[in-house]
Amino acid sequence: MKLSFLRSACGSLRVHSRSRVSGVTQRCLPVAARADCRWIHRAAGDSSSSGTSPKLAVHSGKKSWNKDVFELDTSLKEVVQSTKESMVALQRRNPSIQPVLAIIQTGEDDSLLEINKKMAGKLGLNITQICLAEECSEDEIVEELLKLNEDPRVHGVYLHLPPTFLTSRVLDTLKPEKDIDGITDLNIGRLIRGDLSKGFVSPIASAILDLLEKHNAPLKEKTVLLVGGEGPFAFSLQFLIEKSGMVASKTNWSSRDLQSQVMQADAVVLLGAGNMNVPPTWFRPGTGVIRCESMLEPGDHATEMSSQSELWYLAAAYRTQNVVRSCSRWIQGKQYQQWSLRNLKLQPLMPVPSDIEISRAQIPKPVVQLAEEIGLLPEELESYGRNKAKVQLSLLDRLQTQPDGKYVLVAGITPTPLGEGKSTVTIGLVQALSAHLKLNSFACLRQPSQGPTFGVKGGAAGGGYAQVIPMEEFNLHLTGDIHAITAANNLVAAAIDARMLHEATQSDKALFNRLVPSVNGVRRFSPIQISRLHRLGINTTDPASLTPQEISTFVRLDLDPSQITWHRVVDTNDRFLRKITVGQASTEKGQIRETGFDIAVASEIMAILALADGLEDMKNRLARIVVGTSRSGQPVTTEDLGVSGALAVLMKDAIKPTLMQTLEGTPVFVHAGPFANIAHGNSSVLADKLALKLVGQDGFVVTEAGFGADIGMEKFFNIKCRASGLRPNVVVLVATIRALKMHGGGPNVSAGTPLPKEYIDENLSLVAGGCHSNLRKQIQIAHQFGVPVVVALNVFKTDTQAEIDLVCQIAKECGASDAVPCHHWAHGGRGSLELAHAVNETANKPSNFQFLYNIEMPIAEKIKTIAQKVYGADDIELSPAAQAKIEYYNQQGYSSLPICMAKTHLSLSHMPDKKGAPTGFVLPIREVRASIGAGFIFPLVGAMSTMPGLPTRPCFYDIDLNPVTEEITGLF
């Protein structure tokens, strides 16, 4: 390659300014914009305004290049060809991808754009040019960078700005992964370290190095003098020269020895020369010279290297190569990432401290670090402080081709009022799988309700050395999902009563004028009102064309007060709100009616949150909620009330699962919290789906179903699995010696009172009785769904080895694939290693999952099937009210919905005091409700209440706050 002098802008070190923009930040817009718009977006390959492609003539001194520059330079052709091959490979795998280079510059000089545009046109890239005022501020540059950083369409940003504009703040703002000119500190550091797998090298520096390496006289081990120039570009260039085997020396323009230094050099690169003159006589014959800024007339002693435009084109080629690399890395980053989980070490103490002391003693990893370790992208995370974050549902689209992991359900035998530790077993299991067996695993748990947290049972973060941390954040408020549900639920209730009041006190005309107001003389229906018109069979969208009858039909929901099924909710156990009277103030004009409150987690909106598979599905389900019936017997929905869109707005953040961690640093999704006795009792479908993608094909997702297997597990299979399409690989059935003794004939267990001696002393007879009754029945229930069972015996300190061995023996005799003792409460994940091995082995065996009933069976038959096959009842007894509701639901087309039984969790039957495995009873169905939005029929068994009450001594007696340290005490 022949050498020549050249004049260059040195990439980002030069300012092009042709015209000033008076103090206004300009941003380029698409070429499709109006002709009078000053902003231009020029995409690669676009024609000029005259409709023809611009011609390029390169001038350097007296020499003129009329040929295509791509045909003149071998280096340029090589870089272009290499990048073109990378681009073809990229688009073969991702046909819709179109890499974009964004150029930020001051002024409106298009010379740089034309060169990059021509280069991009060769490769199929797009270019966006952002022209700022020549006197723009640092804030304006930063603002543009922030936009480009977050724009997924932009894969490279070139800051074509004066050096004084490249401040530390500007460079720190630019994302290193989009810094295709390699000027950020991180990319400079990567260059020095030799790690360019994520970084970029300056295109101008690469172009200069290319010219130096292809000098007629080899420059290896020769001296290359850099004159002038500061900042990241000059630093990168010096480093690259030295790395290539040349000897780089640097001087400045004010050096007294400049002439001697130039005369001793084998090649000279003049940076930031300005108007300074370097006489040709300073250069030795054959010296290669690259000069920036001023034009140097060729002399007898210096050899030409290249024209200015040739270097610019070569730099542009390297720049587009970096853009393609950036795009490839971006796409690679969107693929499934292997986990790099750093576990937190546990140092269990004996005796085991309180739950809150254990939680507080362990410092959790920052949630952003945990997210990175499990392959989440920064843009998929919405942090709520240091320890928890919402996860974007876009993850499902990104990993849609990723195979799911193994799916494990933790259920339990019929519990005592104290609970048997399903959450603790769940957490201990994932700690064992991830921290000790090094198998990716995720726990998916329900968000705890404030009702039990301040009532009897306490929180739901686990216990001992198997907890979600920080347990205070887990148990209190979390990310506000239950509050969002409460707000949405009560907005519906307010809308119901307000609508009934207005319909009772206004004429059709007055209602219509207020529901469809005239704005600037024009009356329009809102989209939600148009939906109602269509459901009513009114096909016009012009308010003026409705007949009086159509207006009356449209404005009057005519709700029957006695048939309103929607209750207000509060997340507190408040028995005195079970039945209330509303509308007693004189301002409500006699619109008095009886209603009531449910606990917030019993709201249908909670069930919708748990069963929805995306934002659109949730919005549609919210619109289908039936709040009551009209006097003519027609169902009235939230969409009829006009409130369903507002509900979706209130719930838009709640639909995202919350990421937290266990004591050993393994990931947990906390999402949704329906009770199992008065709702379907499972965490969300979305949390499970996200986790199954994240753990990978060989990983495990462990989710928990509320209360006993007869309640939570049955609903998990018949309701949740129908909604999600997911199929579990194994059921972990949690049992305790305490509960087994109760089912074997032991005395009653009551919260807040000491355990009878039968539960403290060894009693093999009671244990065997519980195993042969309740444990056997719960294993049989799981087998009816075709899923293998591993029994996890949650060991307490009062349990004897003989009792433990007996349970494991009988469980296997009753059909369990395995039965193992678990000591996670005292030892963390290490205490559940035996369970982890059993689950891993069982989950890899084939299963034959099947539903308990055909969804098309009549409603009464589905209820009867559950009663007989799951609970052990002889038959069911429908009250007249329940029978009437079933007939009504059949008429409305709701008969093909699954069943969600509301039943006591303290017995397989409807009688809480009947332990073991009762038989020979008839199950009374007092009432049947329909949760149409959630998608199930909701029979109430016996005297089941949807609002719990507080005991004589609730948990809140022990909960307190230190006002100095802000530490919470008494939570468990």
From 796, 851, 869, 926, active-site residue: 796
* Residue 741 a catalytic site member: no
Residue 669 near residue 374, CB atoms below 8 Å: no
Hey, what's the torsion of the CAs at 206, 207, 208, 214, to 10 degrees?
A: 100
Q: Which of 669, 707, 717, 936 is catalytic?
A: 707
Beta-carbon neighbour count of residue 909 at 10 Å? 27
Tokens found for residue 104: 């930020």
Q: Residues with Cβ < 8 Å from 807, sequence gap 6 or more?
A: 735, 737, 740, 767, 771, 775, 791, 793, 819
- Of the candidates 14, 365, 388, 422, the residue annotated as catalytic is 422
CA 695 to chain centre: 14
* Alpha-carbon span 232 to 609, nearest angstrom: 51
Q: How far apart are CA 403 and CA 107, in angstroms?
A: 51
Q: How far apart are CA 870 and CA 714, in angstroms?
A: 8
Q: What is the largest CA-CA distance in the chain?
A: 114
The helix or strand, by DSSP H or E, that contains position 443, with its residue range, turns out to be: strand 441-445
Whether 422 is catalytic? yes
If one counts every other C-beta atom within 10 angstroms of the C-beta of residue 850, the result is 11
Helices (H), 634-681: 638-641, 644-651
- For residue 98 the two structure tokens come to 């179109």
Contact 290, 208 (CB under 8 A): yes
Angle at CA of residue 858, ends 857 and 861, nearest 5°: 85
At residue 522, the 3 state secondary structure works out as strand
**Cα torsion angle, 526, 527, 531, 534, sign:** positive
- The span from the CA of 241 to the CA of 247, in Å, is 7
Residue 253 catalytic? Answer: no
Q: Which residue in the list 457, 568, 720, 776 is annotated as catalytic?
A: 457
Q: Residue 476 class from Cβ within 10 Å (0-12 exposed, 13-18 middle, 19+ buried)?
A: middle
The answer to whether residues 152 and 102 touch, using CB atoms and an 8 Å cutoff, is no
Cα separation, 522 vs 516, in Å, equals 10
- Asked about 27 being catalytic, the answer comes back as no
Q: Where do we find the tokens 């006002």?
A: 963
Identify whether 251 is a catalytic site residue.
no
In whole angstroms, give the CA distance from residue 585 to residue 941: 35
Quote the CA–CA distance of 356 and 456 in Å, as a whole number. Answer: 17
Tokens coding 74: 């071998």
| One-letter identity of residue 598 | D
- On whether the CB atoms of residues 730 and 839 are closer than 8 A, the answer is yes
How many angstroms separate the CA atoms of 225 and 963, rounded?
A: 67
From 832, 849, 840, select the one nearest 700 (Cα to Cα). Answer: 840
Q: Which residue has the tokens 């049992």?
A: 735
Active-site residue (options: 700, 717, 825, 938):
825
Q: How far is CA 56 from the centre of its chain?
A: 49
Please enumerate in sequence order all residues whose Cβ is within 8 A of that of 502, keeping only pairs 6 or more positions apart, or say none: 511, 514
* Catalytic-residue membership of 796: yes
Is residue 457 part of the annotated active site? The answer reads: yes
Residue of 736, 835, 707 whose CA lies nearest to 794: 736
Known catalytic residue: 646? no
Strand pairing report for 441-445 and 700-704: parallel
Residues 841, 858: Cα–Cα separation, whole Å: 39
- Of 83, 320, 424, 703, catalytic: 424
* Residues ≥6 apart with Cβ < 8 Å to 890: 858, 859
Which entry of 676, 723, 782, 836 is annotated as an active-site residue?
A: 676
Q: Which of 325, 365, 388, 446 is the catalytic position?
A: 446
Q: Which residues are catalytic?
A: 422, 424, 446, 457, 676, 707, 796, 825
